Amino acid sequence: MMDPTDLGPGTATWLGGTGTILLGGFLWLRRFLSKDATDRAMDNADIGTVRRLNELLDSERLARKDAEARADQFAKERNELAAAVGRMEGKIEALTGQVAQLTDKVTSQSAEIARLRTKLGGIN
């Protein structure tokens, strides 16, 4: 069997130092690769978030477009109703004028009938 001191003085120190350096390098590499994997995972998460936000933006744009179409339809119907109300107001004014004329005519004809009755009553 071989004695460790047969390799010369300081061999154990060199072997221990080399082992320590290798262990340190391994731990550093592990941490670096772990950090790189974490960064990649974060990048993938960021990409997923951006995709989701784009989907939400697209759905909001579609909803806004639908809402604008409904608002345009509502405005069109409101304008049509306002025009119809205006036409009805004009017709009501015309009918009110006709009623006033007819009332005057009925009043004058009633007066004429009363005058004629009086005249007929005076002849008999």
Highest mean pLDDT: which range of 12-26, 38-52, 60-74: 60-74
Report pLDDT for 104.
96
The CA distance from 71 to 120, in Å, is 71
Residue 74 confidence class, pLDDT cut points 50, 70, 90: very high
Quick: pLDDT tens for 80-99: 999 999 999 999 999 999 99
The rounded radius of gyration (Å) of the Cα atoms in the chain is: 52
Least confident of 10-14, 28-32, 64-68: 10-14
Taking the complete model, does pTM exceed 0.75, yes or no? no
Please state, in angstroms and as integers, the Cα–Cα distance from residue 96 to each residue in 88, 90, 103, following that order.
12, 10, 10
